[in-house]
Amino acid sequence: MTDAGMPPSDDDAQAGFAMNTSAAATPYRVLARKYRPGNFDDLIGQEALVRTVSNAFETGRIPQAWILTGVRGVGKTTTARILARALNYDLPDGSVKGPTIQMPSHGIHCKAIMESRHIDVLEMDAASHTGVDDVRQINDSVRYAPSSARYKVYIIDEVHMLSTAAFNAFLKTLEEPPEHAKFVFATTEIRKVPITVLSRCQRFDLRRVDADVLMSHLSNIAGKENVEVEQEALGIIARAAEGSVRDSLSLFDQAIAHAAGVVKADAVRQMLGLADRTRVIDLFDSLARGDIASAFKEFREQYDVGADPVVVLSDLAEFVNFVTRVKIVPATADNVAFGETERLRARDFAAKLSMRVLSRMWQMLLKGITEVQGATRPAAAAEMVLVRIAYVADLPTPDEAIRMIEQGGGSSPVIGNGGGRAMPALNAPSAQSFVQMPTASPPSAPTMSGAPRGPTIQRGNAEPSPRPQVGMAEAAPATALRISTFPELVALAGQKRDLMVRGALEADVRLIRIEDGRLELAMERTAARSLINDLARKLEMWTGRRWVVIVSNEQGEATLRAQAQEQKNERTRLAEADPRVQAVLAKFPGAKMEVYPVAPEIPEGDDDALITDDGADDLGDDD
């Protein structure tokens, strides 16, 4: 329900309520009251309710109670009054014999009902009348017939505020009221209304009004008020109202007073404390290109002119949502509630950016807005959110990274470096930053001779690394590799960035014997069924020769992961036997100990043990 565009009555016009009247003695009526709907035809955005009530009145299937729910300002109380008017509509000539939704003119009771002063239509605010005594008064009075109207109508606003005892006192009357009594409840918190009350009412959920419908409604009111307004300004007001007609009229009223003339979009943005949509889109563009320097500059310029960091990020999130909707449903870009520039650039971004990028930007903004709201320095916190978006938004998820590696796509994830770009979809120089996923070899697995350790990084226009990219080496190895030890095989899987195969070799298989071109293994129960076939296929791809992979029933060696754990346990036992360690543990009860192997560079005499109390205290030399 909404405070739809009901034109002012003749009485209002004569009293001088219109803006262009010269009757200065008459008090001004705000637009939300002046254009409050008076009948079902004036309601906007609630077609389902109007159709249901119309059919009920026409067929005589009128319930004893309705409950209206929805967000603030969609017209719950107004709809309740219209229902009361329709139930009691009567004309002086007596031509109307019962309830009707056809109310072309004011009837005998209409004016008093809409002004909330009719003796047979009782309005009660449950927020200030919450007790059982207030409900008892209704129970006592409901038995008496109406004095002049057709029905006694009880309108209870914010009904969820009634106490439990008050609700219980209402149940019997609500279930079996007299024929002349009707109840209309309104609430914004439908979940707080007991189910025993809901089961005795017909429920109507009043939906938010779409922004384009609100724009049309405001445009009609602007014409009646002789106010000149920009279409973009109406769109800003409609979006800021978030589906509430009363909020939109209140904001429009404020915008008219703020502009003192033509209502322009810039004036409305300034009034609402919003950032310029064009500048928000420019900020989005900088983030999409990974240009953090430009993003910082744009954000600081908006902040310096008074933009709230939370509002900037919220506007940015709103635009991300709009681009996502345009990508899924291109017709969304035809919504006139958005500016022409916004719609055109949203189409452009939707065509260039992937759904993964947009979804991750939305998630990071949603989390970042909460962080900024609680930060002592909101501007600095907002800048760090922008940094995260620019650097991380286009990273692949772990499963996507594994899929890319397995498919041998020949390219690696793209990561912005400094002022570079993060998203290859947008226009930018061809030089990109390729960072292959680092996979360190286990301590017991030596790296094969000639194979570089650690990640290979190519930045900007630097000379490419002599090492081929993932996928290229798999497709056509330059020379056949010889593998003679199991650690070399594990290291090769790490070099090829095949995390799944490497993890399986470390944790799911036990070595029986290995020689170049032949591998005999025992399988753990956790091993995948397809591991043997995958391993044979990938060894042939990596080494350039066919491999025979055999599953044996022999016990074999322990898995590499088990061996590494045993080595760690042995180091821990040796460290615990050290008298100095025992002395420290005795002085710090509950301390935790982690043991690391001594690096070759550490001079003789340094301790191998690192003892931490919750990760805080170290034992050893002050290296």
Interval 220-243: pLDDT, tens: 999 988 888 888 888 888 888 888
pLDDT band with cut points at 50, 70 and 90 for residue 50: confident
376-401 tens-digit pLDDT: 999 999 999 999 888 875 566 666 66
Kindly report the CATH number that applies to the domain delimited by 211-272. 1.10.8.60
- Residue 215 CA to residue 419 CA, distance in Å, equals 41
- Mean pLDDT score, 128-152: 89
Residues of the chain with CATH 1.10.8.60: 211-272
User: Please, are residues 298 and 283 in contact by the beta-carbon 8 Å criterion?
Assistant: yes
Q: Could you tell me the CA-to-CA distances from 40 to 52, 275, 578 in Å, in that order? A: 12, 38, 88
pLDDT of residue 590: 73
**Average pLDDT over the chain, rounded to whole?**
76
CA pair distance 15, 22, nearest whole angstrom: 10
> What is the signed CA dihedral for 130, 134, 135, 139, rounded to 10 degrees?
-170
Residue 520: what pLDDT? 83
All CATH 1.20.272.10 domain ranges of the chain, comma separated, are 277-392
CATH code of the domain made up of 277-392: 1.20.272.10
- pLDDT for 600 equals 55
pLDDT in tens, 52-81: 888 888 888 888 999 999 888 888 888 898
Say which DSSP state 7 is in.
P
Cite the residue boundaries of each domain of the chain with CATH code 3.40.50.300: 46-205
At 471-519, the pLDDT tens digits run 333 444 445 677 878 888 888 888 877 777 888 888 888 888 888 788 8
Sign of the alpha-carbon torsion through 379, 381, 386, 391: positive
Decide which of 3.40.50.300, 3.40.50.261, 3.40.50.10320, 3.40.50.10070 is the CATH code for 46-205: 3.40.50.300
Provide the pLDDT for residue 473.
38
Element at 85 (helix H, strand E): helix 76-87
Report the range out of 434-443, 474-483, 574-583, 607-616 with the highest average pLDDT: 574-583
Angle at 5 between CA 157 and CA 261, to 5 degrees: 115
E-assigned strand segments in 11-169? 65-69, 121-125, 152-157
Measured between alpha carbons, how far is 357 from 547 in angstroms, rounded to an integer? 40
> At residue 428, does pLDDT exceed 80?
no
pLDDT score of 346 more than 50: yes
**DSSP-assigned letter for residue 600:** T
The Cα–Cα gap between 346 and 319 comes to: 8
- 3-state SS, residue 520: strand
Q: Lowest-pLDDT range, 337-341, 360-364, 477-481?
A: 477-481
**Reported pTM:** 0.52
Count CA atoms within 13 Å of residue 378 on its CB side: 15
The answer to whether residues 434 and 471 touch, using CB atoms and an 8 Å cutoff, is no
Which burial class, exposed, middle or buried, applies to 331 when counting CB atoms under 10 A from its CB (0-12, 13-18, 19+)?
Answer: exposed
